[in-house]
Structure 1
Amino acid sequence: MKNVLILGASGSIATLVTRQLLDDSRVHLTLLVRHPDHLADDIRNDSRVTIVVADVVKDTATLLESVRGQDLVYANLYGANLKQQGQAVVAAMTTAKVSRILWISANGIYNEIPGKYGQWNAQMLGSTLDAYAAGAKAIESSNLKYTIVRPAWFSDKDVISYELTQKGQAFKGTEVSRQSVAAYLTSLILDPSQAIRQSVGINEPDTDGAKPSFY
């Protein structure tokens, strides 16, 4: 059995990942959320799902107990205090001796987006981009086996089509479907030997421009 802890599990990407993982009978999921009523009924009622209600910064003892015995942590967190959230997750994983983490961030945290889209993205995200950058730095500064994932802007396209860039490379594209990001994350969870200590940008090919098509 593969034990996976998802932090911020009620988010749209995390929900898609959860459903994909539950298609694999070898996976047991622990879902840590602040608002369990935001979880879909089919997920809440699945026998291979354990739900934990906690805040990763305020409830560090609960976070630590949730991390113990896991094979991998997937963090789908957001908020102005992402630095503190990242530090709390690193501390819990270090104490529990769990090393593999997937951390969702945002495109633009390294000023890696060229041209007009980079300017538009920075203006749209504002201080939120600083929070994402601080959270990613907390993870990168640790000794964990991390993969940081930096998606373009999410679309609701019913398609799985993506390409990847590495830290230090110019970011490509302006958008990516939620299904594509979920498919990539699921592949990392099922084969966690991929992309260790890498920060990966993900976008839909041929979506270059000044801003996503839906803006």
Structure 2
Amino acid sequence: MVKNALILGANGSIAKIVVKQLLPQIGGQITNLTLLVRHPERLADLDLSNPNVHVVQADVTDTKQLARIMTGQSLVYANLYGANLGAQAQSVVAAMCQSHVTRLVWISANGVYGEIPGAYGRWNQAMLGDTLTAYADATKVVEASQLDYTLIRPAWFQDEDEIDYELTVKGQPFKGTEVSRKSVAALVVKLIDQPDQMIGDSVGISKPNTDGPAPRWYR
């Protein structure tokens, strides 16, 4: 279990589920939880009254400010998005090195290695386009770092109330086409609870038995 955790992009759909699951542990197993966002009002639906939960408004591309925020953190979980995701990753890695924080959990995307076979791989590439390129750029930055990282490559998100997933590792063909947000959040929480697990791994995550040419709601 980490003592101090920092979530980048804390208003993201996965990150919010992670926060809700971590809140009962704050002040106990987790000493402090820091939530970094550009728009704090987007966290209004969360109960953040715990004094050990800290909301910080910042942009991850401001490396100097980010390094100050990271000082004293035990783990960084990045749930970021955008056309400049590669630049965001460069700033995060640089800030972690400056602040001597080594453990990083980074949400990437399925398909960043061209690891999806067949029709679904072609569909995923066509649907994501430049977004997939941005995720791939960030993935390269994280993998080239000296950090203790875990990359998570989810299939397409759905909102079923379930935790049901299987993992593939880098070098294996990606399985499945969809995964619940709760499943991805459960994996992130597991890594926060057990930060010595999956270091240096890039894992694909999907719901078992969902293979096909596209997620079922697109067929």
TM range (shorter): over 0.9
> Any conservation in 2 of the 1:13–1:178 contact (CA below 8 Å)?
yes
Query: Tell me, what secondary structure is at the counterpart of 1:140?
Result: helix
> Any conservation in 2 of the 1:43–1:49 contact (CA below 8 Å)?
no
How far the C-alpha of 1:185 sits from its partner, in A, is: 0.6
* TM-score under structure 1 length normalisation: 0.97
- Is 1:209 matched up with 2:212? yes
How far the C-alpha of 1:41 sits from its partner, in A, is: 4.0
Pairs within 5 Å for 1:39-54: 39-54=43-58
Query: In 2, distance between residues paired with 1:68 and 1:53?
Result: 16
**1:3-62 alpha-carbon deviations (Å, 9 max, x no partner):** 0000000001000001111121322210000000001343333322101101111x2222
Partner of 1:188: 191
- Is 1:139 matched up with 2:151? no
> Any conservation in 2 of the 1:103–1:148 contact (CA below 8 Å)?
yes
**Percent of residue pairs bearing the same amino acid type:** 59
1:82 paired residue among 82, 85, 100: 85
Partner of 1:165: 168
Partner of 1:102: 105
Runs of at least 4 residues of structure 1 off by over 4 A? Answer: none
- Is 1:123 matched up with 2:132? no
> Any conservation in 1 of the 2:20–2:46 contact (CA below 8 Å)?
no
Residue type matched to 1:141 in 2? A
> Any conservation in 2 of the 1:155–1:178 contact (CA below 8 Å)?
yes
Partner of 2:117: 114
Pairs within 5 Å for 1:8-27: 8-24=9-25, 25-27=28-30
How far the C-alpha of 1:214 sits from its partner, in A, is: 1.8
Query: Tell me, what secondary structure is at the counterpart of 1:44?
Result: coil
Residue type matched to 1:184 in 2? L
